[in-house]
Each structure stands twice: as structure tokens, then as C-alpha cells.
Amino acid sequence: MNKLEELDISKFLPHRAPFLMVDKVLTLDDTHVSTSFYIKPDCIFIDNQVFNEIGLVENAAQTCSSIVGKSYFDDDDLEGKGTKLIGFISAIKKVSITDHPSIGKTIISTAVLKSRFDTEQYSICTLNCEIHEEDKELLSCEMNLFIQEVK
């Protein structure tokens, strides 16, 4: 089992149920991430038995934030003992939603860092993200995130 399989996502992302839209981090480095999310019937973003647009965008944002969030953790401590982050979508430059996954499906989200600006207080970054269900693309977007460590 690798470190990512052992990762407690609730310690890595600031989100909590019912707003946590990522189950597992599958791959993660300084510029790329992939995550998975199993869509349950009690998910707050279910409309007419499908995961809605807001849920897809939130899943993309949480996936994207993992790349920048990783820099606040030591490589041997991906659970970030004592580290707390907050993050916001500061802009969505482009978004295309072509379909919606149904309850009981697992989506895979991948993100790539395009640019990043860091200060001592915060990070601002631009990322591209795609969400797929099997071979079908559901969402593609470009967004800006603002991420800050809470001390």
C-alpha cells in the first residue's frame, strides 16, 4: 500500500461531510493530481438521481486544491498534523459540462497546475481540470484558486 492509499482525505482537505466531494487521492505531485469520488444517494448535490453541475465544479475545485495544498505538508507527512488550510474559487475562466454521472457511479478527476503565485500569507493558482466517468468526459474547466494556511 502506498502513502496516498493511506491518506485520510479529511486531514488533507479542509472540507467535511456533507461537503467533501473527494474520496481518494490517486496520484499527486507538485503539478498534477487525480482523485476519485463515489456518488452516493445522500450526496447534497444530487438532483433527479444525478450529480449536478455545482457538485461537479466543487469536485473539480477540491481536486485542484490538492496540488497547492500538498506544498503545505512534508512528503513524509501528507496528513499535515496541525496544518489547516482554507481555499476559495476566485475565478472560473472556462467550464464545459457535457454530462452528469448517476448515483452509484465513480468519477475520476484530474488537474494540472498552469501557474502559481505564492506569498508568505497565501497562494493563488490557475489550474485545468477534467472529470471523467469511465471514458466519458463530464467536465473540463480552468479555474483560479486562493489558498491560505490558517495559523
Please give the model's pTM, rounded to 2 decimal places. Answer: 0.88
- Residue 57 contacts by C-beta under 8 Å, 6 or more apart in sequence? 89, 92, 95, 139, 141
pLDDT at 19: 82
pLDDT at 75: 56
Task: For residue 60, give Cα distances in angstroms to 2, 6, 35, 74, 141.
Answer: 24, 22, 9, 24, 8
Beta strands in the chain (DSSP E): 24-28, 32-38, 46-47, 50-51, 84-97, 106-118, 122-133, 136-150
* Domains in the chain: ranges and CATH: 3-150 (3.10.129.10)
pLDDT at 69: 78
Q: What is the pLDDT along the chain (151 residues), one digit of tens a residue?
A: 455 555 666 656 766 678 899 999 899 899 999 999 999 999 999 999 999 999 999 999 999 988 887 776 665 555 555 567 788 899 999 999 999 999 999 999 999 999 999 998 899 999 999 999 999 999 999 999 998 887 7
Among residues 124, 107, 130, the alpha carbon closest in space to that of 60 is found at 130
Alpha helices by DSSP H, the chain: 3-6, 9-12, 53-70
